[in-house]
Each structure stands twice: as C-alpha cells, then as structure tokens.
Chains A and B, each alone.
Chain A
Amino acid sequence: MKPDVQKVMVNSFERIMTDVAPHITSEYAIGSAAVIGLMAFQTAAEFERGAEIRVQENVAFREIFSDAAGHLEESDLCRRLQAAAGSSDTCLLISALDKTNDELSALLIELQTHIELLDTAWARTLEAQIWNVLGRAAEARRLPHPMVAE
C-alpha cells in the first residue's frame, strides 16, 4: 500500500481537524469528528508497530515462564508454564498475535497470583521482574497524542 498507511492516517487526521470539523454545525458531530481524527492519528502508529510490540511482549512473557518453571515444584501450573515457554509466534497476523497474547497474559495472571502467596526471595524477585516486564509492555503500547512530543 502506497502511500504508506501512516502517512495517509496522519494526513486524514489533519484534514478532519482543519477542513472537516470546522464546517460541521452540530456540536455533537464536531466532537465525534475530532475523536475519529484522533483515532486515525493513533492508528497510524499502531499499524506500523502492532506486530512488533506483540511479538516482543510474547517473548518477554515466555522468558518469565521459563524462569518460573525452573523454580516451581512439579504441578499443573508448572507444566503449562513450560509448554508456553516453549511456544513461539508462527503467524504474524495481529489477530493471531493477540490470541496468543491473551493466552499468555491469562497464564501470567495465574503465575502472579501464585507467587504472591509464596514467601521466598525468589518469588519476590520474580514478582518485581513481572512488574518490570508489564511496565515495558505498557510503555511499548503507549499511544501517541498529537499534542505531546514523542
């Protein structure tokens, strides 16, 4: 697709804000147009990075699972962590990556809940590591706003 999707979306945002919204007479419609424009702006960023941030997040979750499985006693959770740690993203469609990310996120919640009840130094370290991974993931997903310099 040429011109690039990012360029088309950002230009669409600018056109909505400067050329479309000012000519709408309904207050409600002006608000809707502005919101649609903002989402076009944010879609530009997501289109470019969407697959990359999901793959990186899934990789980070699998590393956590691998580490955790090495410390946990043999259990159903431990087996599922090992299986997830050994998986990989073979399809790069956003929908496929999201599906995998949902499965890994659900397992991460289980792991967090489990280790929060353990009174060991390793559990505390892993708990902090998980929050660091979640922090990096949230930051990677930061949506741009046209009024905030990147």
Chain B
Amino acid sequence: MEEIAEKTATYLAHRNPDASDVVVHDISRIHGGASRQTYRFRATWTESGVAKERALILRRDPEASLIETERDVEFNAYRALYPTGLPVPEPVYLETETKWLDRPFFIMEQIEGCLAASPFAQDPYGPLAEKIGEQFWRHLGDLAAHDPAAIGYSAEDEYPAGETCWKTALDYWEGEIDGDSLCPQPIVKGAIRWLRRNPPPPPKKISVVHGDYRTGNFLYNDEGEIRAILDWEMCHLGDPLEDIAWAADPLWAFNDTRPGSMIDRASALALWSKHSGMKIDPVALRWWEVFSVVKGLAIWISAGKEYDAGNNVDPILAFSSWYCTDVHNRQLVTWMRDLIAEEERL
C-alpha cells in the first residue's frame, strides 16, 4: 500500500506543478468494486505557501474483473454529469498512461461521511427507505431527461438508432455469455431467443444509461440524503428503460418486494415518469427486465470465467458466479415459464 501511496503522490505532483510537498496519507482499499481497484486516501500539499488537503478516490484498472470496460467511459460520465447537479463525485484526473501506477486509472473527489448499502442485507435502509427511494427514482428520471449532447456526454451523430439499440445491447451480452461460459446455459440461452423473437418498441428517446444503477452503487448520509451516484463504468447511450429494469431487478432487493428495498414499484415508476417526462410502456419494460437478468447472468458468468482462469481470484468473483447466477437463473426461469404460458393463451 505504501508503494501505491508514493506513486500516487508523485503523479499528483506531476499534474499540479504549483504544488510542493505532496503526500498521500491514510490510503486503504475499498471492498466490492470488482471492476476497478478502488482506494480512498487523503492528499496534502503546499501551494503558494498555503497548506492544502483533499480527500480523494483512486480507481485503477484491475488485471481482470467482473466487467471489462474502458475507464474513460466512467470518467466521461462524471465529467458530463457533475455540472448538471446530479449527485456524482467531481472527476479530477484521468490517466491512460501505464507508467504511473502500472495500469490506467482516474482520480475523483471522495464523498465523506456516507455509506453504500449492501444489496444482500435485509432492509438496508430501515426508516430512511422512503426518503432514499424518492431521491433514487427522481435522480434516475432526471438522468433520462437529460439530452446527452446538450450535457456534453456524446455528440448527436454518435447516438445509436432507437430501433436497434436493444439488439446492440443484447448482442454484446450474448457475446460475453458465449465467450465466457464454463458450462452450457440453457436458461439464459432460451431467454435470449425469446428476447430476439419479441423485440421491444423503440425508446421514446435515447438517453444516458447508467448501466449499473442499483442499491449498493450510491452513497447516502445519516439523514438519508443521496450524496453520490457511483460506478458508471457501464454507462452508455440507449433506452432509459434499461436502467429502470436493472434498478428494479429482484437481485438488488434481498428478500424484499420493494425494488432495491426502498419504495414500492408503482410509486417508483410514477416518480421516474414524473421526472423523466416519459410514460413507461409496460410491454417494453417487461422486455428490458428479462434483458436485465440476461445481462446480470453475463456478468456473473464472466466473473466465474476470470476466477476459474486465475486472472483474478478475489472471492467476490467466485461468490458472484455462485450466488448471483443462482438467484438470476431462478428469476429468469420463473419469468420464462410465465411468458411461454402467456404466449400459449394468446
């Protein structure tokens, strides 16, 4: 850990030539961010004769992870969304050169005095659930309402076609499943064929999709205020219903019928509609909910592959491959039985 602290201090001094005596203190690794190695630390330095201090986060690429993504995807999301007022940490530096910390990384503001809930804990928000849930769905609606080009997230000519964005997403995750499966997967493959036979209508608009918006990926304080939405590494442009479906995935609501163990589903969807300005097509949302479980299974399958190959033997990858695959397979087969029976009735 001392080596990372020294290298980080050297990097910070490089990025800020006006700073002297740059020191990195209290560095520690945070558990759970398996797609990045995440460290919190405090940096102190002197600038124009004034002693300064800042709490920061370092997100470094791992050698292998749950999700293979480019770190600039996440940094770009923070850069575009920080000025909008959506609660995200201030991005500070993005570094793609490997000479500083062996792998690419970025540095952002550390949000202090907050915690993230575990999706595998019973009633993680307790009496704050309603207050947090209201903000959670409001922020997601606000995110969908933003014009991606207007906030500088993406140029308009980079927008995916609304008619095919579902296929782009499904092709990607099926590719991950086919490439990484350690054993045949009849449940998820059957679901993928159903998704292809029953494509959703195009989205009302192309939005910034967080990609992993859920319990566990935001920080809140003791008063129940959401202070930071994190983990934007799967951020992309697409159908905003993808985020609703992922946030409402039963996996993130341990033993609870409330999405993410916050507020009831009807209230959640109503809040999203109010703030996004869009109505939710229930048929389209059902498609994206099935898709979400497929995407989840792709992530757990890939985690198992990385662990099995010895590329990353963090136990969280093995646990994800065991437990999350189990939960999602049972969820998916239940939905598929209902969908097949419904098709038979029509």
Contacts and interface: CB of A to CB of B under 8 A. Distances in A.
Interface residues of A, number: 37
Contacts, number: 96
Given A32-B316, A39-B319, A143-B326, A112 B29 contact: no
A138 interface: yes
Contacts of A42: 322-323
A87 interface: no
A127 B186 CA distance: 12
Given A32-B314, A105-B184, A124-B344, A27 B319 contact: no
Contacts of B314: 32
A147 interface: yes
A142 B319 contact: no
Interface stretch (B85-93, B271-279, B327-335): B327-335
A147 B261 CA distance: 15
B340 A28 contact: no
Contacts of B330: 135, 138-139, 142
B29 A26 contact: yes
Contacts of A105: 183-186
B51 interface: no
Interface residues of B, number: 36
9 closest A-B pairs by CB: A31-B31, A105-B184, A28-B29, A106-B184, A35-B315, A135-B333, A138-B330, A143-B326, A138-B329
A112 B329 contact: no
A127 B342 CA distance: 13
Interface in B287-346: 314-316, 318-319, 322-323, 326, 329-330, 333-334, 336-337, 340-341, 344
Nearest to A31: B31
Secondary structure class of chain A's binding surface, majority of residues: helix
Contact of B337 (A112, A124, A128): A128
Interface of B: 28-32, 120-122, 183-187, 189-190, 193, 197, 254-255, 314-316, 318-319, 322-323, 326, 329-330, 333-334, 336-337, 340-341, 344
16 contacts: A26-B28, A26-B29, A31-B31, A32-B315, A101-B183, A109-B190, A112-B190, A128-B340, A134-B187, A134-B190, A135-B330, A138-B187, A138-B326, A143-B323, A145-B323, A148-B255
A142 B326 contact: yes
Nearest to B326: A143
A141 to B, nearest CB: 6
B112 to A, nearest CB: 14
Q: Which of A36, A124, A138, A142: most chain B Cβ within 10 A?
A: A138
B190 A31 contact: no
Interface string A118-150: 000000100110111011001101110101100
A113 B316 contact: no
Interface in A23-53: 26-28, 30-32, 35-36, 38-39, 42
B337 A131 contact: yes
B333 A39 contact: no
